[in-house]
Amino acid sequence: MVKRIPVVMAAPPDTGSLEARINKATNPLNRDTDWDSIQAFCDQLNNDLEGPQLATRLLAHKIQSPQEWEAMQALVVLETCMKSCGERFHSEVGKFRFLNELIKVVSPKYLGTRAPEPVKKKVLELIYSWTLGLPDEAKIADAYQMLKKQGIVKQDPVLPADKLLLLPPPRPKNAIFEDEEKSKTLTRLLNSTQPEDLKAANKLIQEMVQEDQKRAEKLSKRVNAIQDVNESVSLLTHAITASSIYDVYKDLYQRCEKMRPTLFRLASDTEDNDEALAEILQANDSLTQVINLYRQQVKGEVVNGNNSANTQRLTGSSVALLDLSGLDTSPPSSEFPTPTDSLNAPSQEMGISLLDDELMSLGKSSKTSATSMLCDSTTWDSFQSSDSVGIPDIPAAPSVLLSPDPLPYTQPLSTGATSGSSALDELDLLGKKLLQQSLPPEGLQVKWDKPPFKPTLRDLQNKSGTNPSLIPAFSPEHPVALLVIPPIEMTLTDVFVPLESIKPSSLLPVTVFDRHSLRVLFHFARDSLPSLADVLVVIISMLSSAPVPVSNILFQPSVPDTMRVKLQPPSGTELPAFNPILPPAAITQILLLANPHKEKVRLQYKLTFTLGEEDHDERGVVAQFPPSDTWGNL
């Protein structure tokens, strides 16, 4: 007879416990300090009867972690608890049982040789700040003096003003009875023998205790918010002066912007406390100054009548990742712009012209080249056909919209002109000369865009050996100006490649992205598409080795304007948690890359995904493509 063994299911972890909160606050996958989890840990510590004893054991274990980021986050939690958790926690920290765990981190006899230098430096700074801020805790001072005698501390660390442990003045023991009127009422109710009065006294005590708790919560929020503001101001100021990357600027700037409403709410909630209001106003002044500095030096905006540049630049996200800015927008319209639109949009064209150098450095042709295109005889005739009598003065437009030199008159290429029309031709020539004289001199003539030519990929392949940008017109009788054809419009809209029809090449795959336990590879197809030798077929493979699921995976590529790229729908957008027993799951996606001019490929990408509960936004460049002349025979 087979005995049935009962299966005991493990209880789910308690998300409200101190251990769960410290694990979330010190998670090595956190990109930034999780202040919400830290505050929740402090609140739970204050509410639990054995909170300080358990918290010190958990913090000691996290601080001794071999991972630097996890240990540094634990020290931030410890520092925050010392500022907001009161005397019960201070007394536990002041015991040798906890101090010995900190000494192990810096002592060469224990973990000092393996612990990261930033962690050891932070531990010594905290102990030194406690000796100054907690003079009643004699054991902390004794431990610090012992470290000095052993030579571990050479000299006292220099602490910034915001790192000093400034404790709020102790509240009187009867803080909830500060309201004299309520105290008298409570005394009267307690001295009464009526049951109704005793119930009212109990209710009044509960209300007064709740008010005191709200007051303490406001104080804790204010201290944490001001500390967060000071750290963000310091980071953004350092980033701007050190000329760090633009993404760091943007993240810190957005973080500072989000803190302004928090300060406004704190100021409105402050009740008759001039010192607290002064701290909030000082933090707000620092926040405003660094935000204005960012707008003036990074964005080039006018701030209070001053800016670092003579021209205000375009605002928004058009400066960041220029070649990725078109991923979420539709292609520009090819219709003729009206004269009013062209003359009334100097700021937009000026902003585009400022970006030409950056676009050219990426190997791209500027989309604004069409605005400086020479007009052919047909365009000129259509412009001249309007009534030339009483032509108003054309206002001077920004030079970025206009061609550098006046266009000389070009006779249309026509044959069979009769002698009877010669007089009209001379009159026509005279009218055109008069019209030219009425226009602003030296490069102030408005040029209108022509609708761009849109050939198929087959036409592009046939014309790949020619340069379509300049087409000289040869005529012995009539001088004709050179015509600039707009950039060629390519499309891969109607092209679709089934995955099962692709044969892989012998080339090794290219690793595009390999961070956060997510790996993205490029595999190249052996053959190109029929009749489309300039199109490279790339198979994108995405694999995950993360212990948590990866969801919302989105890969967005971008190439120079002379090329076109198309992504077919992926096989999925989620990857399960890695299981070493099962074969790894993968997401497959087909990428088509058209390169009719056979230029060197430089593909930029944007990869977004959610790892567990954390969102990631990654960007990079791929240049390891096979030579374009070998496409179709890899």
Q: Over the stretch 562-601, which tens digit does the pLDDT of each residue have?
A: 888 999 999 999 999 988 888 888 999 999 998 888 888 9
Residues 178 and 172: beta-carbon distance below 8 Å: yes
Residue type, 12: P
415 within domain boundaries? no
Q: Is the CB of residue 557 less than 8 Å from the CB of residue 591? A: yes
Give the model's pLDDT for residue 549: 93
Decide: pTM greater than 0.85: no
Query: For residue 539, is pLDDT > 80?
Result: yes
The whole-number pLDDT of residue 608 equals 95
**Do residue 244 and residue 113 come from a single domain?**
no
Instruction: Determine the residue type at 3.
Output: K
Look up the CATH number of the domain holding residue 48.
1.25.40.90
User: How high is the pLDDT of residue 346?
Assistant: 42
Other beta carbons within 10 angstroms of residue 178's beta carbon come to 13
Residue 112, CB half-sphere, CA atoms under 13 Å: how many?
16
CATH number at residue 275: 1.20.58.160
Contact between 605 and 591 under an 8 Å Cβ cutoff? The reply is no
Q: End of a domain among 243, 274, 304? A: 304
Structure token digits, residue 539: 């198979």
Tallying the residues shown for the chain, one arrives at 634
Same domain, 30 and 143: yes
Identify the H or E element spanning 102.
helix 96-106
The yes-or-no verdict on residue 439 having pLDDT over 70 is: no
467 and 549 housed in the same domain: no
Q: Is residue 359 part of a domain?
A: no
Instruction: With respect to residue 253, please indicate whether it lies within any of the assigned structural domains.
Output: yes
Tally of domains in the chain:
4
183 and 161 in a single domain? The answer is no
- Chain segment 241-257, per-residue pLDDT in tens: 655 566 777 888 888 88
Residue 347 falls within a domain, yes or no?
no
Q: What domain range is 441 assigned to?
A: 402-407+436-489
Residues 22 and 138 in one domain: yes
Residue at a domain's end among 460, 489, 518: 489
Whether residue 149 is found in the same domain as residue 199: no
User: Is the same domain home to 476 and 505?
Assistant: no
The listed range with the strongest mean pLDDT (293-302, 377-386, 404-413) is 293-302
> What separation in angstroms does the CA of 606 have from each of 222, 326, 559, 616?
38, 12, 12, 10
Give pLDDT, residue 76: 92
The answer to whether residue 23 sits within a structural domain is yes
Mark whether 138 and 248 lie in a shared domain: no
Query: What is the per-residue pLDDT across 139-195, written as a single tens digit (0 to 9) for each?
Result: 888 888 888 888 888 888 887 765 565 555 454 444 555 567 777 788 888 888 888
In a domain, 309, yes or no: no
What backbone phi and psi angles, to 5 degrees, belong to 587? Answer: -110, 130
The answer to whether residues 101 and 206 belong to one domain is: no
In this predicted structure, the answer to whether residue 409 has a pLDDT above a threshold of 70 is no
Give residue 134's pLDDT: 84
Kindly give the residue spans of alpha helices, DSSP state H, lying in 526-612: none
Question: Over pLDDT 70: what percentage of the chain?
Answer: 63
Cα distance between residue 131 and residue 164, in whole Å: 10
Contacts of 117 (CB under 8 A, 6+ apart): none
587 within a domain of the structure (yes/no): yes
Q: Are residues 160 and 219 in the same domain?
A: no
Instruction: Determine the Cα–Cα distance for residues 146 and 103; give it in Å rounded to an integer.
Output: 10
Q: Which of 604, 524, 532 is nearest to 561 (CA)?
A: 604
162 belongs to a structural domain = yes
Model pLDDT, residue 459: 61
